[in-house]
Amino acid sequence: MSSLMSIGKSAMFANYAALQTAGNNIANANTPGFSRQDVQFADAPGQFTGSGYFGKGVNVTTVARSYDQFLTHQAQVTGSTSAADSVRLEKLSQLENVFPIGKAGVGYAAGELMNSFVDMANNPVDSSARQVVLGNAQGLASRFRDAGDQLSGLQAGVVQDVKAAVGAVNDKAQQVARLNQQITGLRGSGQPPNQLLDDRDRLISEIGAVINVSTIRADDGSIGMFIGGGQSLVLGTQVNTLKAVPDSFDATKI
């Protein structure tokens, strides 16, 4: 009877753990970076008798993430590419608005100036033709000034965006290093710290949305992050800091 009670108790606790994990999955369905978790079971070691081994119920071995390293890496790479394309599209769209087509564009004003030069050359004594040339020249110069002012504004915006991005990358890299330290410290427990692993994967994806990174997993559970063709950003608990510096030929650019 005691063996039956022990088997029933182990089954109750194991399935309670499964229900608790399922509830946690539902609660975090919309949590960014959360990986669904599964309870893994194993039958308890059997008890030997003269008639053979009798089962003693079920044990919970671990709570594991539904995780695939290859798919996670591919998602990070494609997310980085998508973010880069989105920023490129945004900046090109802004640049396109600086040089509109049609009568509002610089090209139209330049064409009008060339045409007025032709008219003046055909009738050089006509004072009105000369006035038209002057007016068109002023109009073209005004459009060049407007375009230059807009380009300067776009450049200033890019500088601010880069500075903000550098600060964000440095902050997130520090967080990845701290998570590396915590994860390696918990490695001796024999159980995966799922929440910390999810947080680290999320941070790596967020950094990848700003700058292209490659990652290497170490034997101690930490992850190294590299940028610029091999320069280390995070290596274990060590972090290198990015810095935005002025262009040596144009101090308005970085």
**Total-model pTM:** 0.79
Q: Could you give the CA distance from residue 131 to residue 141 in angstroms, rounded to a whole number?
A: 15
User: Count of alpha carbons within 13 Å of 217, Cβ hemisphere only?
Assistant: 10
Dump pLDDT digits (tens) for 190-235. Answer: 888 999 999 999 999 999 999 989 899 998 889 999 988 789 999 9
Neighbours of 74 (CB within 10 A): 11
**Eight-state DSSP code of residue 52:** E
Tell the burial category of 73 from Cβ atoms under 10 Å away from its Cβ (0-12, 13-18, 19+): middle
Residue type, 27: A
| DSSP letter for each residue of 203-241 | HHHHHHTTS--EEEE-TTS-EEEEETTTEEEEETTEEPP
Predicted local confidence at residue 1, as pLDDT: 56
Q: Give 163's contacts (C-beta < 8 A, 6+ positions apart).
A: 244, 254
In this prediction, residues 176-202 reach a mean pLDDT of 92
Range scoring the smallest mean pLDDT among 43-52, 63-72, 79-88, 152-161? 43-52
Mean confidence (pLDDT) of the chain:
89
